[in-house]
Amino acid sequence: MLQDIERYLACPHCVRPLILDGRTLRCAAGHSFDQARQGYVSLLAGDAHTGTGDTAEMVAAREAFLAAGHYRPIADALAEAAGQVMGSQVTAGQVMGGQVTDGPTGLVADLGAGTGYYLSHVLDRTGGVGAALDISKFALRRAARAHPRIGALVCDAWRPLPLLDDSADLLLNVFAPRNGPEIRRVLRPGGRMLLVSPTSRHLRELVEALGLLSVDEDKERRTDEKLSPWLTRTDRTEVEFRLRLSHAEANEVVAMGPNAWHTDPARLAAALAELPDPVEVTGSVHLTTYR
């Protein structure tokens, strides 16, 4: 909920702290942002637009696919890594910094949170509160309901994030864009980012048969180089698993990501019809920790 993350929020116009007044966030300069009835609040700057955000159809496909548990190995690995980074679960009444807290502490920010699926798993493992950051209001309608300690914020990953300096203990980035300078700014000293990115083997059976976008073999090196001015890689592990997907589920995995912008539905249906049902598919990602 917004109440849980209020103390970490910054105005997108003047970067002053935001205060929650009923269902409206306000700063000392008089800027205000109303919470939508679906639970999220837009903290986009006035000249920003959401044209690059996931559509309602993409979000529906993602929610159905994730709800079926196909990417649960990724969520479990992410939650385990988050637990190691943040320590044992934080619960109400735990002593933190010499004082007894009155509830969960520590901010987990998810940049490109989508429906909040991964953030929810991490919060269950670590405690704390979560900021779901995404440019798609359709995704954040679901993220706002995904966990009782999530606040959902519409923002642009390529602009200043609506979080105060040094506010986040942990930042998640799962199949999403990343802005190195802003990630460094919002992470507290010693904070970590957990990045999930596909390897070149991810969904390779579908990539080959359906002509989908492929992953460059050199992607991880280039990512490290781009982030190196602001973050240092400390660990990288590989998570690989097998999927058995019906044709409908294979269509969902195509429809929920960037391939949705580049695939003709009729051609996709014809290509899927040529595959076994169910089809065996490889899931393969890197989970990388940056400090």
- The whole-number average pLDDT for the span 110-131 is 96
Directed axis angle between helix 72-86 and helix 117-126, to 10°?
40
Task: With a cut of 70, say whether residue 47 has pLDDT above it.
Answer: no
Q: Is the dihedral of CA 261, 266, 269, 270 positive or negative?
A: negative
Q: How far apart are CA 61 and CA 257, in angstroms?
A: 9
Residue 36's pLDDT is 94
- The whole-number average pLDDT for the span 178-202 is 96
Which of residues 86 and 139 earns the better pLDDT score?
Answer: 139
Which of residues 285 and 90 earns the better pLDDT score?
Answer: 285
Task: With a cut of 80, say whether residue 73 has pLDDT above it.
Answer: yes
What would the CATH number be for the domain defined by 2-290?
3.40.50.150
Binned at pLDDT 50, 70 and 90, residue 5 comes out as very high
- Give the pLDDT confidence of 136-178 residue by residue, as tens digits: 999 999 999 999 999 999 999 999 999 999 999 999 999 999 9
- Give the pLDDT confidence of 89-103 residue by residue, as tens digits: 343 334 333 333 344
Task: With a cut of 50, say whether residue 88 has pLDDT above it.
Answer: no
Task: With a cut of 90, say whether residue 20 has pLDDT above it.
Answer: yes
Among 45-49, 88-92, 218-222, 242-246, name the most confident range.
242-246
Residue 111's pLDDT is 97
Binned at pLDDT 50, 70 and 90, residue 17 comes out as very high
What is the value of pTM for the model shown? 0.90
H or E segment and range at residue 174: strand 168-174
| Phi, psi (degrees; rounded to nearest 5) at 38 | -80, 0
Give the list of residues 6+ apart from residue 221 with CB closer than 8 angstroms, or none. none
The overall average pLDDT reported for the chain is 90
SS3 breakdown of the chain: % helix, strand, coil, rounded to 5?
35, 25, 40
Of 125-139, 170-184, 260-274, the one with minimum mean pLDDT is 260-274
Residue 288's pLDDT is 97
Looking at the chain, the whole-number percentage of residues with pLDDT higher than 70 is 92
225: left (phi over 0), alpha (psi -120 to 50) or beta: alpha
